Amino acid sequence: MSPEAQKDRAKRILIEIIRQNGGTFNLKTNLYKAFYYAHLRYAEKNSGYLSEWPIVRMPRGPGIHRADKLLSELVSDGLLEIEDLGSYEGFSFGLTDKAAKLPQMDQEETQAIRYGVRCVSGKTASQASEDSHTKSRSWKAAQNGEELDIYADISDSSTYRKRAAFFKKIGPAIEEALKGKSRPASRRPAAG
């Protein structure tokens, strides 16, 4: 998928998150967390990914890469209105009539997005942040700004440990192969 198509897909998911929340969304932090949870849920229940848009480590949990750009483009496209609620209250996001007329996403996508919205519904930004980063292995392992391997967050602990040990073991060989410095496999003398 091209970078532009990936960006359009991420914006479409944001629209659907707001739609599934009744057409408005009041906390930017919770919007980020709903995006994260929707991606996890989609991967748990379906083959493939809800989108390829990066989810990155932010100080208080997983966040949407370049979210401000996505949101400002949605405003420029006439699909979203943003109201500043004040320095401590944040922003209110509302769909325009133009956005409300967009077709709903498919059933599996909508179910995953609805789940993401439920994960943050009724929570303060602090509560939603605490829940997301407390449970996220990928967030704990990354530095601020780094893209997260969020799909590690859906594995049970035993599977995750086995996967991590496997990749730690083969990691150096993969790095060498990618650098083009891997040695050819040794040849055994022909049986004779």
For position 74, what pLDDT does the model report? 98
**In this predicted structure, which of 99-103, 137-141, 168-172 has the lowest mean pLDDT?**
168-172
Measure CA 24 to chain center.
20
pLDDT, tens digit (0-9, with 9 covering 90-100), for 52-101: 999 999 999 999 999 999 999 999 999 999 998 876 667 899 999 999 99
Which ranges of 46-88 does DSSP label H, i.e. alpha helix? 67-76
Q: Judge contact between 43 and 114, C-beta under 8 A.
A: no
Backbone torsion region of residue 48, taken as left when φ is above 0, otherwise alpha when ψ lies between -120 and 50, otherwise beta = left
pLDDT, tens digit (0-9, with 9 covering 90-100), for 11-39: 999 999 999 999 999 889 999 999 999 99
**AA letter at 45:** K
For position 182, what pLDDT does the model report? 44
With b for 16 or more beta-carbon neighbours within 10 A and e for fewer, the 150-167 pattern comes to bebbeeeeeeeeeeeeee
The secondary element (H helix, E strand) that includes residue 81 is strand 80-86
Q: Judge contact between 23 and 58, C-beta under 8 A.
A: no
Distance CA 106, CA 125 (A): 29
Phi, psi angle pair for 93, to nearest 5°: -110, 130
The residue extents of the domains of the chain are 3-155
Question: Residue 134 — very low, low, confident or very high, per pLDDT cuts 50/70/90?
Answer: confident
Phi, psi angle pair for 186, to nearest 5°: -65, 145
Distance CA 42, CA 51 (A): 9
Instruction: Output the average pLDDT for the chain.
Output: 87
For position 169, what pLDDT does the model report? 72
Q: Judge contact between 138 and 152, C-beta under 8 A.
A: yes
For position 171, what pLDDT does the model report? 66
Distance CA 109, CA 135 (A): 23
pTM over 0.85: no
Range picked from 73-87, 104-118, 161-175 for highest mean pLDDT? 104-118
**AA letter at 187:** R
**In this predicted structure, which of 4-8, 21-25, 88-92, 188-192 has the lowest mean pLDDT?**
188-192
